Amino acid sequence: MRLPLLAVLALGLAAPALAGGWDDTVAAARGQTVYWNAWGGDERTNDFIAWASGELQAQYGVTISHVKLSDTAEAVTRVIAEKAAGKAEGGSVDLIWINGANFLSMKEQGLLHGPFLQDLPNARYLDLSEGSAAVVDFTIPTEGYESPWRLAKFVLSHDSARVAEPPRSMAALLDWAKANPGRFTHPAVSNFMGSTFLKQALIELAPDASVLQAEATDEAFSAATEPLWAWYDALRPNLWREGKTFPENESVLQQMLNDGEVDFAMAFDPAAAAAAVERGLLPETVRSYAPEAGSIGNISFVAIPFNAAHKEGAMVVANFLLDPAVQARAQDISVLGSYSVLDPAKLDDAAKAAFDALPASPALPSNEALGPTLGEPHPSWMTRLAEDWARRYTE
């Protein structure tokens, strides 16, 4: 079903501009080409960005040039190279799809432009209260240096034709793996999906999960991870290839599920499996679910490097991505299937109707099946987990 897109867009545009400042930004943005550095491994995202470029061109005279990355850190390395070369203006990166450790490292090293979020008119649809998911990135306050654009949440997918009743906790997963050796694995821990799986297990298994919200100390880390490593020691021999090698990323894992090499895939996007079914990349019997105790969730952001050549254009793009009509389109399973970052309480009736009218898919988990969302641990936990894992299990 198509959205009443123009109607909703018109509503969004009719809202009074917050300040004259924004009109100046829009005027300055006209004619700019925004080099948006974003992971290019997902074709639906690529198509969505191409669509956004067309819309922006028509409405604001802004064009997006999608610089496809195989890893977000490529863009970070690029900005660091430019800083190393003394290039403080006219940089090659205008906008980055970013979050977590990459954001922290750019923010800490003063590589970001901002704060700019409060200047975006559509930021009024966000829950900007302190500690809300839209203003915290892996426990780090974003302080307006990045703008949200899509919601991510950890889910597992399984082929219901092979596994009728999947294990819904990490303890149950261990039992299942012992009964079905070689049929489960996770992406390499150097990949963020692999480390997210470890974090999910850590939250479930840690004696006191609340310590994860603060920066990790040596003491806290060894106390919190002890049950995790005991669990992993038991799990690893039962993993695919006895846990001696791991798929490079979540897409490779998804392909392995499709090939029947393993029975589970995982994603940071509840709609990933449904989208893959739609594109013929997974069998129609695949279903997604979250662990019953809840799953890690976070929001993906866009940020502007300090030396971006087209900052105004980049802000117009960031604002466009927050438009309720655009968010509803992104949530459409036949388009992108990524959940909205907006606060439903702040939407008007027309915008709500657009979300209600979205089509469903059997591979798409319902909100109930997704369960509660668990906050990301402080980034130091992820870094330490990855390091400690590598130290323990690299031969």
Q: Which residues in this chain contact another protein in the complex, by CB under 8 A? A: 35, 37, 40-43, 47, 65, 67-78, 80-87, 92-93, 100-102, 105, 109, 162, 181-182, 188, 190, 192, 240-241, 244-249, 251-252, 254-256, 258-261, 279-281, 283, 383, 387, 390-391, 393-395
Q: How far is the CB of 212 from another protein (least distance, A)?
A: 18
Evaluate whether 361 touches 193 at the Cβ level (below 8 Å). Answer: no
Instruction: Determine the residue type at 216.
Output: A
C-beta of 76 vs 336, nearer to another protein: 76
Query: Which residue's entry shows tokens 């439903």?
Result: 344
Choice between 81 and 179, CB closer to another protein: 81
Give whichever of 69 and 302 is closer to another protein, judged by the CB atom.
69
For residues 122 and 199, which CB has a smaller minimum distance to another protein in the complex? Answer: 199
Residues 186, 238: contact at Cβ < 8 Å? no
Taking the complex as a whole, the smallest distance from the CB of residue 108 to another protein amounts, in Å, to: 9
Note the Cα 340 to chain centre separation in Å: 12
C-alpha 186, offset from chain centre: 18
Is the C-alpha dihedral spanning 253, 255, 258, 260 positive or negative? negative
Q: Tell me how far, at minimum, the Cβ of 101 lies from another protein, in Å.
A: 4
| SS3 (DSSP) at 290 | coil
Tokens for 107?
A: 């923010």
Taking the least distance from each CB to another protein, the nearer of 9 and 188 is 188
Measured CA to CA, the distance from residue 69 to residue 92 in angstroms comes to 14
Task: Please state, in angstroms and rounded to a whole number, the distance separating the CA atoms of residues 324 and 357.
Answer: 13
> Minimum CB separation from another protein for residue 169, in Å?
24
Smallest distance from another protein to CB 331, Å? 21
Q: Which is nearer to another protein, 24 or 242 (CB)?
A: 242
Cβ count within 10 A of residue 325: 23
Smallest separation (angstroms) from another protein to the CB of 304: 16
